[in-house]
A and B are shown apart, each in its own frame.
Chain A
Amino acid sequence: MRLALLLTLLAALTAALFLVSLLTGPAGLSPARALAALIRGEGTAETLVMREIRLPRALLAAMIGASLGLAGAAMQGYLRNPLAEPGLLGVSGSAALGAVIALQTGLAAAFTLALPLAALTGAVVAVGLILALAGRQGGSITLILAGIAVSAMAGALTALALNLSPNPFAAAEIVFWMMGSLADRSMTHVWLALPLMVLGWALLASLARGLDALTLGEDVAESMGHALPRLRLTLVAGTACVVGAGTAVAGAIGFVGLVVPHILRPLVGARPSHLLAASAFGGAALLLAADIAVRMILPERDLKLGVLTALVGAPLFFHLIYRTRREGLT
């Protein structure tokens, strides 16, 4: 399929799901009323619901979904491994740890961007650890083991930080940080996440040609003029920016970065550069759909997004592991 056509279709799907997301919610607004309130500000309560509750929720779903899809495609391209993904490798979990520490120490209240920057720091540490542990020629086994180790450490420290909190509600929020949710987010969160995300998108997009060259291995990529240390640094920084910013406001949402590139890879002729753009749109669409689903399944309770993404992603993960083993890729 031609890339332009595919991107157009994915953008249309994302736009349609964005609209459905805006029209989904327990307030019981008709589509006409909802859109009138959103666009023209008709009705005090309706406008408040549309502009302060539903709009930021839909925006965040699209932004975070795009970020996770993009980060997944970039990590897979760099590591040349379809099992790489920020959630599975503990990058999201470490970002959550950074966010929790910032919140519980009061650092998050010190200045505006403290929360996303703390999450970014957590993500940087995790990506750095993964690349160091998995090594240059790291196979699937090393990669997954490194991911398990980083995830376990981040999860334990997050639980510890939350249990040490003087706040009686904090300990119960381990689920939020591990599974992610967009319930009751506001435009404040959108503005908090957006600057770092835009920076991260730009960094990851700049990897396109380098990732294509890496299809032929590190030696060839380097001989074709790509500076691998800079490529690696860009990947670490870009992934940390988008995953950190997203996790700081919505918790760790897994599997999006695994599922989306996997589904879209055949449609872009497996080219890592084309997969980046396609996965960004695909991720946005997937997370919007998941966030619509959680509100439809349990409208009054905060079902975590990670539950749905894992239900879709885990079976795919099994399949990928099985195929990886069968093809003898280590």
Chain B
Amino acid sequence: MPRPAGPFTLASPRASSLVALAVALLGATAAAAGPPQRVVSLNLCTDQLAMMLSAPGQLVSITHLAADPMMSVMADQAAGFPLNHGRAEEIHALDPDMVLATIWTPRHTVSLLERLGLRVEQMPLAMRLEDIPDNIAQIGALLGREAQAQALIADFRAGLAALAPPPEMPLRAVLHNANNYTSGSGTMAADLLVLAGLANVAREAGITGGGTLPMEQIVMLAPDLVIQAQRYPGASRAEAVMDHPAMLALRDRGGGALADAEWVCGTPHVLRAVARLAALRDAATEGN
């Protein structure tokens, strides 16, 4: 899902007016029908935002992914909710008055639910740091919880403002995932690197959005810091590339791991990932 590259500006008038517009539009529909009372979420990220924003009892079910600590920063909170696997039959049985899906929810699932007479809201997800406040506001409006949304956005902005200013000479880092997958410019992960005072090596290699960077090229780019994805149980050749002797040699200079759960969804929790990246940066700076 490539997006145009560019510096993110959280307080830009454009973003704010969009939020206002969205809130007004969605609020109007919500007001007509009243806030939904039984909400089922079909996506890990809407799960988390809904858990943060919903009124007690308003959220009926979230996905099983939200309870997986490998994927979700809110696995503890998720333990209190009935979990679903996104199958139309189980969703219908929950008798929701609103289903929170995303624009990437499979087309056939959405149309099936709609044919069953359910209201399905297909949210875009935050792909960049700058999208996060809009996203929070939209979910807040859908749930009829605008005030809670505004408070969460304010907290997030405060958290961003409280971050240490980036160093003058940022360290050069590469995000190294399974199958040599990396995040280039225009991605949430790359935004977080910049916030943590790191220069993204993938951007030097001309990678936009997500993409693979051959190991040879990573070695030749000689990053100061290799940030790996977390490991899953079981074995895969995809993850084995992270243990390749050439990558181990690079990691001797500086390395660390970042949990998927901390940045996979555009929620205020991404600030945790930034803090972790900044700590890795500091450790690598001392090492060098």
Contact = CB atoms under 8 A, between A and B. Distances in A.
A188 B219 CA distance: 18
B178 A169 contact: yes
Interface in B196-255: 211-212, 214-217, 219-220, 222, 232-241, 244-246, 249-250
Contacts of B217: 26-27
Contacts of A11: none
A53 B235 contact: no
Q: Which of the four size classes fits the interface of chain B?
A: 20 to 34
A170 B249 contact: no
B183 to A, nearest CB: 15
Interface stretch (A44-52, A62-70, A127-135, A144-152): A44-52
Contact of B245 (A27, A45, A169, A187): A187
B180 interface: yes
Interface string A130-170: 00000000000000000000000000000000000111111
B37 interface: no
Contact of A49 (B219, B234, B237): B219
Given A26-B216, A27-B220, A28-B220, A48 B232 contact: no
A321 B239 CA distance: 41
B120 to A, nearest CB: 26
Contact of B239 (A169, A186, A299): A169
Given A27-B220, A169-B238, A188 B245 contact: yes
Contacts of B179: 169, 302
A41 interface: no
Nearest to B241: A184
Contacts of B244: 52-53, 184, 186
B220 A172 contact: no
Interface string A25-58: 1111100000000000000111011001110000
16 contacts: A25-B214, A25-B216, A27-B220, A48-B250, A52-B245, A53-B215, A53-B216, A53-B219, A104-B235, A106-B235, A166-B233, A166-B234, A169-B232, A300-B211, A301-B212, A302-B179
Given A53-B246, A167-B239, A170-B235, A27 B178 contact: no
A108 interface: yes
Given A27-B220, A166-B233, A184-B215, 5 more contacts: A26-B214, A44-B222, A46-B220, A166-B234, A167-B232
Interface string A163-181: 0011111101100100000
Contacts of A170: 234-236, 238
Nearest to A168: B232
Contact of B246 (A26, A48, A299): A48
Interface residues of A, number: 34
If over half of B's interface residues share one DSSP class (helix, strand or loop), that class is named, otherwise mixed; here it is helix
A23 interface: no
A-B interface, 10 closest residue pairs, ranked by CB to CB distance from nearest: A167-B234, A169-B238, A169-B236, A27-B216, A103-B235, A165-B234, A52-B246, A166-B234, A166-B233, A26-B214
A108 B235 contact: yes
Contacts of A302: 179
A168 B240 CA distance: 13
B215 A165 contact: no
B142 to A, nearest CB: 29
A54 B250 CA distance: 16
Contacts of B238: 169-170, 172-173
Nearest to A109: B235
A171 to B, nearest CB: 9
Nearest to A103: B235
B227 to A, nearest CB: 18
A240 B157 CA distance: 62
B245 A167 contact: no
Contacts of B236: 165, 167, 169-170, 173
